[in-house]
Structure 1
Amino acid sequence: MPGIISGLSYFWGEQCNSEEALKKRSFQTYYKFFSNFLELSEGENISKKKEMGFHINNNNPDKTIKREKSQKKFKLYFKKNCKMFFNEAISINKTKVLLNNKRSIYGKKIILCAGLIGSTNLLKTICSDIDFRYYDHSPQIDLIYSKNINQNSDRNSIYSIVSKIYDKNYNIKYYLKYYPLKSLELLFFLGKIKFFLPKFILKYRFNLDNLYFIQKWDNNSFKEIRNDKTFFKYRFNKKQNFKKLDILYKKLKIFKIFSFRSNDDNFHFHNLRIIKNKKIISIENFLKKYNPSVYCLSLLAEKNINCLPPTFMNCLKTAIKIKKILK
């Protein structure tokens, strides 16, 4: 759980995606607890539109738990309700966990919430002859020009507008983030796109206030990452489909200059699977066979996620699963 909260604190996306949680009654109790405890502060709505059967919600970025007060509050909660060991877990053997100070701790049930690197390292101590496959979000990036984008949005943020696009039944279809070209944080992209930028933009012959980069996700915006010993391979398993979004751009008077897809990680690692003897095994079945005392939770255990940032929703799911395991 501390790892999940770290993700909430430092995640560049929109931390408090709560719409999915509110649709399910089983999440409402946990939603109320975490939203009150973390003092969730969702981004202010800029505009709502309906076009081509899509519902378009444009918000300013949220401001959730960037404050030092909220982070201290969470640390105090753990200190009060848990016995803390400020050490690195080195290995797991049945119900024993070896720490880096050479001490051992024991538990009838051991729950892994150690992020991708921590969890996979510990899984290798359960069975050394394994490799891994997992998924990550993988957006496309558009350079666009438009005079119709709300200039009153928060241009001091790393991105100024968050756009969620739903179908007529309010199922999420696209998730977009707008980065002003004049933003200093655009340096995040410059290493990737400087050779693509048209010369007239570089020479400031355009009004830069009307130029944005848009990061965009649909529900197929994933890549699979495979590791073979120390080598990593990336594979785009599903084809993204932004044809309707391109038509929607035209309706909204957004002119797309070019588009590209980066190999950079989004750090939304999920659907972790084990490769043993050239066979793919789910993380749940692997642990049932090799150490049933261990449970791997957090986002790594989620097989499917949609295009929205998953951090807050996964925080709720993990809390529910922990409660079931500890019954």
Structure 2
Amino acid sequence: MRILKTFAAVLAATIVLVPAAPAVAADPISLTSGFYVNPNSLPALWARNNSGDARAARIQASIGSKPIARWFGNDAAIATTVANYTGAADGQDKLPVLVAYNIPDRDICAGHSGGGAGSAGAYRTWISSFAAGIGSKPAVVIIEPDALNGMDCMTQAQKDERLAMLLYATQMFQQKAPNTYAYLDAGNSGWTNASTIAYRLNQAGIGNIRGFSVNVSNFYTTNESISYASSVNSYLGTTKPFVIDTSRNGNGHGDGWCNPAGRRLGVTAQTGGGAEMRLWVKTPGVSDGPCGTAPSVPAGTFDPGLAVRLIDGS
């Protein structure tokens, strides 16, 4: 009996000492059968609610029916919101694209898209909950557009705090969303130089996640964006996958970045084409701010006139 008790004790101790197996990361593209089309995107909602408008059918066919990233900001129930959204996509075996957009002092230097979490602590809680909301479901996440580029007017202390928050964000996606491809935003070819962005990407934890995004909410051609991303990679010290926002780059970069005239829709979401993915990150028809061809339309607001301009290239 003593021998049996001793054997049982050793066995129990052995079981306790065996660590739990870590979550196995998988490729979210291979786990799904195409990109998720959000039936409640801003252009889809506008077209549905304004069916009598002569522009509605064109906007729905050219924009509302396409896979577009959904942007998430300050939300006390962010874990539930994200879980519901990624769950809806998972239920259709589709890959959702999400944008985490809640960094404190957001757009501090330009000012059009201000806002964000009220403190670094609040942001850490929010981004941790965001990642937990995805969990093991397949997803693509763009982390904080413009956050690494829009730092030039900040004090060094503010820059350090922002980089620490982004580093924490990459750790949360690494730990809590193993089947997510997360990408830190690296701006575009006409903004911060590649060497500076590569340095900031390393500080912000690029090694913890899949890669980086370029051309978000901008208009540079795919070839220009590939060239810029390749230059960033040359300074990173390692080659990381990247994605390109092609939502409005059909005619390339025009005059300015804020609702410029003459721009056009780019190719819709797809894998490959010189990047890991080409995505519609910016929602076509959503204003960059009260400027350019939409001088009275606030940032983040869908405007059918802007949408039709992008369809027509006018």
Give the TM-score category using the shorter length.
under 0.3
The structure whose RCO (Cα within 8 Å, separation 6+) is larger is: 1
Structure ranking higher in strand proportion = 1
- TM-score if structure 2 supplies the norm length? 0.27
